[in-house]
Every structure is written in structure tokens, then in C-alpha cells.
Amino acid sequence: MTALPATQTLAEASPPAPAKQTGAHAVVRTLEVLGVERVFGYPGGAIMPVYDALTGSSLKHILVRHEQAAAFAADAQARLTGKAGVCLATSGPGATNLLTGIANAYMDSVPMIILTGQVPSGLMGTDAFQEVDVFGMSMPVVKHSIIIRDPMRIPEMIAEAFAIAEGGRPGPVLIDLPKDVLQAEAYPTLPPESRLSAGPSPSRQADLDAAAALLSSSERPVLYIGGGVALGGAVEAVRDFMGRTGIPAVATLKGLGCAHPEAENFLGMLGMHGGRAANVAVDECDLLVCCGARFDDRATGRLDSFAKGARIIHMDGDGAEIGKLRTADAAIEGDIADALARLDPGYLDIEDWRKSCRERKERHAFRYDAPGHGVFAPAMLKQLSEAAGDDFIAACDVGQHQMWVAQHCRFSRPEHHLTSAGLGAMGYGLPAGIGAAMERPDAKVVTITGDGSVMMNIQELATAHRYGVPVRILLLDNASLGLVRQWQEYFFDQNFSEIDLYDNPDFAEVAHAFGIEAFTVHSREEVPAAIDRLLNARGPILAHVLIDPRENVWPLVPPGASNADMMED
């Protein structure tokens, strides 16, 4: 975040402003000074003064068609850049429509600034028209909340919000703006000093020495990579550590892309839909080096059987995660990149263990020779990501396709895998793809969605068309809520309750109605041409891909089971 100059007023720091400046002008000009280029939003009564002040500003406002999409798009932009995305909406339903997107950012530690209009201060607490206590409602899913009551403090408090959102463990910060504060005449001075938070502290040498001793005495260590590696800017440090030590590694859903995808000792994703090589390695290890992961239930399965015979080294930038679910034998709090650079036990003498892990990885590699002529989704996703190369960015929805993407797509960087991991919010993919493609128009941004998920924010096809967003949409249609159906098949006695989407529209025709190029893929023979057409399109394009409704995601760890007890097709 750009530090605010010490002595400039808003008028001096920004383009010429109207003779009369208001709190709303202060909001817009502060965002400009802080380096914000793009905001996602939807106007309404209480936020209207800000929209009035947007006219003539340098901010690029993206008009979405639902406030939830504004939050998801800002979320994706933030994941790509590491800088807080900005979304705004009016009071009442505008604010409540943002809540799912706010919770999504909170669960995945994404920096975001949420600006909500509010009824005038004198009406707050009176059940006025379009009044909700969004400050209170959002409190469990924000890093911090602010109600600005003095227009003269707007620049200072917005700058503080950015510092909080981006500092430490990132997260969303909500700023509630009463309408009278936005309309009040105000000529505030910019804050006298930067409010940026200090970065994480270096880890204690004694903790690193204890971890190095554990590593040196280990015979079967495994590196367990989580989303905190990317948040801590430690991707290169992880890759270097893997190279220096030769330690086999596994990753969580959010940790994918941290290890180099072609690293011979990288075993893939662990957990409920992880690969057998990864899950068995964790089950057999005698030392688990947890790096930026939080022992989430989808990764661990039954916690008391997860790496049951292993000692634990746990390093994280957020000390609250260390020891929360699993006691650490060596706890390393602080800057993960610094800790990995200083943790140097040398190349570990574990060649038999490496060989065993590599052989298991080869023996249990995914197969792509499914019988029949229908489209086999895992094979298509693998081919798509490989054809796109290092420019591939997936904005993925939630469902079977989310797990197939994690299992079969190649990610060169963790920020190239955009997915609702902690919250599991359907509807994330399309607005996230729009936000990502606006930020990285040069990349191959692909929204990967299902027939269930896409319907939750399908109105954003209008946003993609309006702005000519170069997002490619791969829609896998199995005419059902596939992941729910799979669970009902195996764990609910095949009682297929309310999962049949037989009455889906023709999604290619729906896209055409929004003015978007689209086509349908029926057979395996059409896949290579479809991938080529998707990746070489300049504007928004949708590929409607029909797949077998009986296809399941394998392997699968049953609920309440150990990760070693995987079901396979």
C-alpha cells in the first residue's frame, strides 16, 4: 500500500475537485491516493454520494449485477496481487448481499476493503428504510470493522483499514459510511504518517535449532504445505527448502502451486480427495513439517489418526494456529520465508524414503484412459492446464469440478489457483474469473464451473460482456449437483434427494442471449479443438461441456475415517 504523504491535503494530492468537497469526495480521493485503480460495486440510496463523487475520478468502477459478485471479483483481484481488493454497496440488502463474499475472504485470509453505505447517523437504530446493522452482522467474518462518524477522519481511517487488511494475516475490513457523513462538507488533511503494519517478526533461533535437530534425526519426514506459504511470500523459500533437503512434500487445496509442479518429491494434494501417494506418505511419516497449514478437517480426515506416529514441526506467521489442533514438538512463529531460509539441516539422508514415496506416486498416478466416447472431465482439465502453460489461472467454483481441478490441473504459482477453499461458496467462479481477467488480461484466465454453481451468479455474464472481459468459461454439465449426489450414493443409501438438474437450460444459448460467444462439447473427439478455441478467444467465451452424470471424484476419504482408508473406483 502506498504511504500517504505527510502534509498534502486531498485536494493537493488528487486531480482538481469540485469547489465544495464532501465526505464522499474524501472517500474517493483517499482511494486514489492509496493507489486503488479498480473498485467493484452496485449503487443504491445510502452509497449514492460516493457514486456522485466517482464522476471524474481516476477510479475504474466495475458495475456488477449482484453485490455478492462485487465481493468475489475483488477477492480474486486481491489473491492475484496481494493488495486489498475494494468493493462497495449500499445499505440494507446491498450490505447483506456482500456478506457471503466477506466470509469467503475471511476464511481464506484475503485482504479486502468493503465500503457500505449506511442510513444517516440520526436514523441509525430506528429500523429506518434499508437499515441493517452490518457492523454487527459482519463481525464474525471480518478482521476489523469501522463506522466513520466524522468526515474529517475519513482519510486516516481508510488508510488504517488498508493497513489492517494487508498486514499480518490478511483479511477483510468493513467500513460503514453513514449517508450524512458522506454528504457533509469536509476538507480533511491526509494522515501525517503511514499506518502500514510491520511485517512478521523473524523466528527465534532456538526454535529453528530444535526443528533442525528433529529433521536431522528423522527417517521419514514430510513437508505439509498450506495456504500460509503464499500469504507469507514464501513460495521460493519452500521450493529452495525442498531442493536443499530433498524432503517429500504434500499440499492442501490452498497450498497447490507452492511446490514446483514438476518437482520429483512433490506428491500432490492430501486430504479427502487427495492422492493415495500423498495421504499414505503422511500416514507413514515420522516427522511432519507443517508449513503455513492449519490442520483443516478436509486435509486431515480423522485428526487423531492424522500422521499418528509423527512428531510435528509447525511454522506459521499466525501464532494462533500453532498448537490449535495439534501439539507441536517444535513451534516456529514468524516470517515463514525467513524461517525456511535459516532452517538448514542439509540434504537429508533419507534416500530409501524418497524412493518409496516416488514409487508410490508413480504406482498410484491418475489414469486418463477412461472407456467410452464421452468427455472425461479429469483428462480435459489436465489437457487444458498443460496447453495454457504457466499463464494458466483457474477461477474455480465449488463441487466435483473443484476437486478435479485440484487433482488434475497444473499450477505454476499458488495465486493462479483461485478457489473458495474454507467457505466452499458456490457462485464464486464467474465473478472471480472476471476480477482475475481484468487484473491479468494477458493471462489465460479460465472460470471452471458446474451446472449447479454457474446458476448462482450467472447474471455476471452481463458484466463480462459489458467490459469485454477476456475470461474463458468451462462449464461442466452433469445435470446434477454432482458432489452431493456422490455422497448420497455412498453415504445416504442412494437416496438421491433434490440433486437432479434435468431441467437445466441450454447454457450455450443462455450465453448467446448475453452476447457472449459459446459452443457445446458433446464428445471426447471434440475436446482438443474446444481447448484451442477457448484459449485463443479474445473476449468472453463459454464452452458448455456435457459429461456423464454418474462420474465421481476418486479417491475419497469417507466421513470420520482416516486418510489412509481411501475409497477408490
CATH code for the structural domain at 377-546: 3.40.50.970
Q: pLDDT-derived band of residue 197, with 50, 70 and 90 as boundaries?
A: low
pLDDT in tens, 434-460: 999 999 999 999 999 999 999 999 999
Side chain identity at residue 409, one-letter code: C
Pairing of strands 311-316, 330-333: parallel
* Backbone phi and psi for residue 480, each to the nearest 5 degrees, phi listed first: -165, 170
The mean per-residue pLDDT over the stretch 118-145 comes to: 94
Task: Express as a percent the part of the chain with pLDDT over 70.
Answer: 95
pLDDT of residue 569 exceeding 90: no
Q: Could you list the beta-strand ranges (E) of 465-540.
A: 472-477, 517-521
CA angle 266, 267, 271 (to 5 degrees): 130
Instruction: For cell 459459446, name the residue.
Output: 518
Q: What whole-number distance in Å separates Cα of residue 463 and Cα of residue 73?
A: 11
pLDDT in the model for residue 5: 44
Q: Is 396 exposed, middle or buried (0-12, 13-18, 19+ CB in 10 A)?
A: buried
Nearest one of 450, 477, 445 to 464, comparing CA atoms: 445
pLDDT in the model for residue 196: 55
pLDDT in the model for residue 11: 47
Q: What residues have CB less than 8 Å from 481, skipping those under 6 apart?
A: 399, 452, 498, 499, 501
3-37: string of b/e by CB count within 10 Å (b at 16+)?
Answer: ebeeeeebbebbeebeeebbbbbbbbbbbbbbebe
CB 547 within 8 A of CB 494: no
Q: Is 302 exposed, middle or buried (0-12, 13-18, 19+ CB in 10 A)?
A: middle
The alpha-carbon radius of gyration of the chain (Å, integer) is: 24
Pairing of strands 392-396, 287-291: unpaired
pLDDT in the model for residue 528: 97
CB 252 within 8 A of CB 273: no
Q: pLDDT-derived band of residue 144, with 50, 70 and 90 as boundaries?
A: very high
Do the first three CATH levels of 10-183 and 377-546 match, i.e. the same topology?
yes
pLDDT in the model for residue 1: 44
pLDDT of residue 492 exceeding 90: yes
- What pTM value is reported for the model? 0.94
Side chain identity at residue 338, one-letter code: D
Q: Could you list the beta-strand ranges (E) of 362-460.
A: 392-396, 417-419, 444-450
pLDDT of residue 192 exceeding 50: no
pLDDT of residue 66 exceeding 80: yes
State the average pLDDT for the chain.
93
pLDDT of residue 14 exceeding 90: no
Q: What whole-number distance in Å separates Cα of residue 281 and Cα of residue 100?
A: 36
Nearest one of 498, 497, 440, 494 to 471, comparing CA atoms: 440
Domain at 10-183: CATH architecture: 3-Layer(aba) Sandwich (3.40)
Q: What whole-number distance in Å separates Cα of residue 279 and Cα of residue 565?
A: 9
pLDDT in tens, 517-528: 999 999 999 999
The mean per-residue pLDDT over the stretch 94-110 comes to: 98
pLDDT in the model for residue 495: 96
The mean per-residue pLDDT over the stretch 209-231 comes to: 96
> Which CATH number among 3.40.190.10, 1.10.10.10, 1.20.120.450, 3.40.50.1220 corresponds to the domain 205-363?
3.40.50.1220
pLDDT in the model for residue 12: 52
Domain locations in the chain?
10-183, 205-363, 377-546
pLDDT in the model for residue 187: 86
Q: What whole-number distance in Å separates Cα of residue 386 and Cα of residue 42?
A: 37
pLDDT in tens, 74-93: 999 999 999 999 999 999 99
CB 402 within 8 A of CB 419: yes
pLDDT in the model for residue 100: 98
Q: What whole-number distance in Å separates Cα of residue 514 and Cα of residue 365?
A: 41
Q: How many residues does the chain have?
A: 569
pLDDT in the model for residue 449: 98
pLDDT in the model for residue 200: 76
* Backbone phi and psi for residue 173, each to the nearest 5 degrees, phi listed first: -125, 125
CA angle 184, 190, 193 (to 5 degrees): 145
